């Protein structure tokens, strides 16, 4: 099943690309969009 | 169930999520997700949403046996230090935790877990030897038990990247900024 569509990932078209790695403005570390989930306790 | 991710649609990194109350048969809200943190202040008058110069990324979600849902995230941006005058230092990172007590419908309480923000440029290894790209790890973690929430994060307060944890419940931070490698016995009250 598709959970979400039309998201805007932390991708190079919006963020600085340094040698193929995306960076938040002013940062020196690489960044990406990673999904997390929680099934709850019930 | 809920799923969350870092999203740049606001031209700043914010955490969006989708929630299903029927095991994934249907999903609430817009198909592209909705902001996980909304509203102006929690019950303690703390701002819920990060400031407009702060990026939220690497979210984690977990539930406790008592059905609270915890959310933890890195918050990166210019941080103030000192009581007065406030000094804005370099771009630093805090660990922020928010708690939902309505099965993920809303996250109504926000806590900054870190005693003070850490510098992601300290001791950062190079990515594939590239001197222009460093690496803080994408292995941020969060677990929970009846004692509360246990975020696990990279921290450089010791001058190198090390792993820290804290125990947080809905009342207050029970332990704060504990170096995992040096834990002998976490308080169990």
B38-78 tens-digit pLDDT: 987 766 677 789 999 999 999 999 998 888 899 999 999 99
Please tell me the predicted confidence (pLDDT) of residue B28.
95
Q: Is the ipTM of this complex over 0.85?
A: yes
Q: How many Å separate Cα B133 from the centre of its chain?
A: 23
Test A19 with B130 for CB contact under 8 angstroms: yes
Per-residue pLDDT at B186 exceeds 60: no
Nearest chain B residue to A7 by CA: give it.
B32
Element (H, E) at B81: strand B69-81
What is the C-alpha separation between B93 and B156, in angstroms, rounded? 10
Test B31 with A4 for CB contact under 8 angstroms: yes
Nearest CB neighbour to A41, from listed B24, B65, B124: B65
Distance of residue A8 Cα from the nearest chain B Cα, in angstroms:
5
Q: What is the mean pLDDT of residues A12-22?
A: 86
pLDDT-based confidence at B185, cuts 50/70/90? very low
Please tell me the predicted confidence (pLDDT) of residue A7.
95
Nearest CB neighbour to B91, from listed A9, A27, A41: A27
A contact set with B (CB within 8 A): 1, 3-11, 14-15, 18-19, 21, 23-42
In chain A, which residues have their Cβ closer than 8 Å to the Cβ of B63? Answer: 38-41
Please tell me the predicted confidence (pLDDT) of residue B123.
82
Nearest chain B residue to A17 by CA: give it.
B133
Burial of B120 (0-12, 13-18, 19+ CB in 10 A): buried
Task: Name which of B10, B69, B52 is nearest B35 in CA terms.
Answer: B10
Q: Against a cut of 0.90, is the pTM above it?
A: no
Q: How many Å separate Cα B109 from the centre of its chain?
A: 12
Test B27 with A3 for CB contact under 8 angstroms: yes
Nearest CB neighbour to B5, from listed A7, A11, A26: A7
Nearest CB neighbour to B31, from listed A5, A32, A38: A5
Q: What is the mean pLDDT of residues B175-189?
A: 57
């Amino acid at each position: 099943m598709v959970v979400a569509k039309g998201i805007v990932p932390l991708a190079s078209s919006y963020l600085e690309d340094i040698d193929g790695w995306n960076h938040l403005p002013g940062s020196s570390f690489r960044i990406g969009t990673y999904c997390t989930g929680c099934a709850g306790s019930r | 169930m809920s799923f969350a991710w870092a999203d740049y649609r606001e031209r700043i990194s914010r955490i969006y999520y989708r929630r299903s109350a029927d095991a994934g048969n249907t999903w609430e809200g817009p198909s592209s997700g909705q902001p996980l943190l909304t509203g102006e202040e929690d019950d303690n008058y703390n701002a819920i949403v990060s400031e407009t110069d702060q990026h939220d990324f690497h979210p984690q979600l977990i539930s406790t046996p008592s059905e609270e849902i915890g959310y933890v995230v890195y918050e990166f941006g210019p941080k103030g230090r000192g009581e007065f005058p406030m000094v804005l230092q370099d771009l630093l990172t805090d660990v922020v935790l928010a708690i939902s007590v309505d099965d993920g419908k809303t996250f109504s309480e926000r806590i900054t877990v870190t005693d003070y923000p850490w510098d992601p440029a300290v001791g950062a290894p190079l990515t594939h030897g590239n001197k222009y790209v460093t690496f803080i790890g994408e292995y941020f973690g969060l677990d929970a038990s009846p004692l509360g929430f246990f975020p696990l994060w990279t921290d450089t307060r010791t001058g190198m990247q090390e792993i820290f944890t804290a125990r947080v419940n809905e009342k207050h931070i029970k332990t704060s900024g504990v170096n995992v490698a040096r834990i002998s016995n976490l308080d169990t009250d």
